[in-house]
Chains A and B, each alone.
Chain A
Amino acid sequence: MNHLEFRNVSVAFGHGPRRFVAVDDVSLSVPAGKIVGLVGESGSGKSTLARAAVGLCEPSAGSVLLDGVQVSHARGANARLRQRIQMIFQDPSSCLNPKLTIGQSVAEALDAAAKRAGTRTGRAQRAAETARLLESVQLPAARAADLPAALSGGQRQRVALARALAAAPGVILADEITSALDVSVQGSVLNLLRHIQRELGLGILFVSHNLAVVRYLCDEVAVMQSGRLVEHGETMTVLDHPRQDYTKTLLQAVPRIGEPLFAPATGMIQISEGAR
């Protein structure tokens, strides 16, 4: 069982007049074995929510639970439990330490998992495990000795996935992991993620601004706007029959291949962008 739950989570930055609420009272659950898509525009708080789950920032109110155990603001055993939530980031150029070989990066996660389990892994065992993980993300095991600079963007994202898997996770948070990749590479990363998720029965929170990608990959979709969760449901239900106006606006704005964006010669501008 690996069930991630956000219960009335708020995240605020700053104090006094500069206090800024990035996430406002969000409750969301990522059931074991499901991919939940989290969509919204920049500044909607979707990434902040994901970061709050792993402790890169802590909720200012509410709590994050894994299998019913509170892991936010946790110490000791619960903090170790939180390591079963792993995260993959957007930028392939910054996701790996440029001074460590990709084998070392993966091994670090293996060590963390071993430490959590209270076991010790020998050098040979660790090397074998690293090789197996690299192969599971379709990279030759021999590349373990390479530095990240020798890898393409898509390959680095796959190493990041291998590193997350090495930590024996129950839930993976994927934060815009294909946004910086070309479409040709995006497809293979999506296929890989889906394949591994099905094989290991992981829960995934897939944060993205790309509705088409979320539609393809996710079982459920949650929509965030200005820090609040506005709609959540089964993917095809939400996308085919959105209930909220904001979700409808988002869906209408997505350009579709083969559909002209504008009827010829009619200005249909609606200034909805507020002054910032």
Chain B
Amino acid sequence: MTTTMSALPARAPRRPATGWFAPGSWSLFAVRRGGRFLVAIVVLVTAAFLMLQLIPGDPARESVGATAPVEAVNLRRHELGLDQPLWVQYFRFWGGLLTGHPGTSITLRMPVADVIGSRFPATAELAVITLVVVLVLAIPLGLLAAALTRGGRRRGLELGFTSVTGFFSVVPEFLMGVGLVYLFAVSTQLLPVAGRGGPTSYVLPVAALSIGSTAALARIVRAEALGVLGNDYIRTARAKRMPAIRLYLRHALPNLMTSTLTIAGLFLGSLIAGTVLVESIFAWPGLGMTIVDSIRSKDYPLAQTLVVVYGAIVLGINLVVDVLLAILDPRSTIKES
């Protein structure tokens, strides 16, 4: 292609911009993206199902322990449904998930659905509060840092910003958690360290989860913002001699949202993973503690379902992010199809 002006799409025969399934239309986007979500769910469920089959050796034996009698092993094998043909097991697994009765937890001796129902809100609360804190802090911080240091201005501030955020983004959530426990519970005893109770009990878990992510996201926002500020259209805006605040908020910020949102989606995914660790530090009664316990105690039905639940949450987040992107940036639906 000649690169004087890459006008390849421009030459496409014109089609009505409206109409069902027209390229770039909402319906086509919804069908494609929805289809991809469903395929991903099927793959996820199948992978969770196969997880049990892939365990080296005999899962039933693993589950009851090496010293248990043969009868116990056989009973457990029956409990796990492993005595059925593979395809029967597979459809039972699907049936359980779809009807909302995905079996019974071996260790807790209660329906998996009830375990998840009682534990899920605590995890969701923690994740949502953290995400809000991260977004509210990181985006203005990153934008401000970019505005102040663009083009190599204020080297000292740049060094300070990159060092501090770099340090905090290296410290993982659980170490941050341990550090916070030491600071606020062991040495000062200011805040509660375990369990979920009044508002103060949220402070440390949310802080442990959000400090690192805020630092990392602020770094990324700054880098993205510096990229946006280097664009020709910012020079056009500067040629109009507008107040700086308008330049940053009206002309730079909207162009930042696409990449920031994409990255924030990834962060939310890893936040979900981080809750697993932070819950175990602060004895937070959420799903994270449950999944770790289920793996340690070889409670396979519970672990399998939790894998599906966590996976579905992550896929759901991706879906929401893509829909938001499509709303914010009309070009992304075109790219999509």
Contact = CB atoms under 8 A, between A and B. Distances in A.
A89 to B, nearest CB: 10
Nearest to A227: B11
A17 B7 contact: no
Interface in B6-26: 6-8, 10-15, 21-23
B15 A17 contact: yes
At the interface, is chain B mostly helix, strand, loop or mixed?
loop
B1 interface: yes
Contacts of B67: none
Given A48-B1, A176-B2, A42 B7 contact: yes
B4 interface: yes
> Which 8 residue pairs across A and B have the least CB separation, nearest first?
A43-B7, A276-B10, A43-B11, A42-B5, A20-B12, A42-B4, A42-B7, A47-B1
B3 interface: yes
A20 B21 contact: no
A43 B10 contact: yes
A48 B2 CA distance: 9
A47 B15 contact: no
A226 B13 CA distance: 10
Interface residues of A, number: 20
Nearest to A46: B2
B23 A17 contact: yes
Contacts of B23: 17-18
Given A42-B2, A276-B7, 14 more contacts: A17-B15, A18-B12, A20-B11, A22-B11, A42-B4, A42-B6, A43-B5, A43-B11, A91-B3, A176-B3, A207-B2, A209-B4, A226-B11, A276-B10
A51 to B, nearest CB: 8
A90 interface: yes
A179 interface: yes
Contacts of A47: 1-2
Contacts of A275: 14
B2 A20 contact: no
Interface string A182-218: 0000000000000000000000000101000000000
Contacts of B4: 42, 176, 179, 209
Interface in A145-191: 175-176, 179
Contacts of A176: 2-4
26 contacts: A17-B15, A17-B22, A17-B23, A18-B12, A18-B337, A20-B8, A20-B13, A22-B8, A42-B2, A42-B6, A42-B7, A43-B5, A43-B8, A43-B10, A43-B11, A47-B1, A47-B2, A48-B1, A90-B2, A176-B2, A176-B3, A179-B4, A207-B2, A209-B4, A226-B11, A276-B7
Given A17-B23, A18-B23, A90 B12 contact: no
Interface in B97-132: none
Contacts of B5: 42-43
A207 B23 CA distance: 32
A271 B22 CA distance: 28
A104 B317 CA distance: 49
Nearest to B4: A42
Contacts of A175: 2
Contacts of B14: 275
Interface string A24-58: 00000000000000000011001110000000000
Interface in A105-129: none
A46 B7 CA distance: 13
Q: Which of A17, A43, A226 has the largest number of chain B CB atoms within 10 A?
A: A43
Nearest to B28: A17
A39 to B, nearest CB: 11
Nearest to B3: A90
Contacts of A276: 7, 10
A43 B10 CA distance: 8
A209 B10 CA distance: 18
Nearest to A20: B12
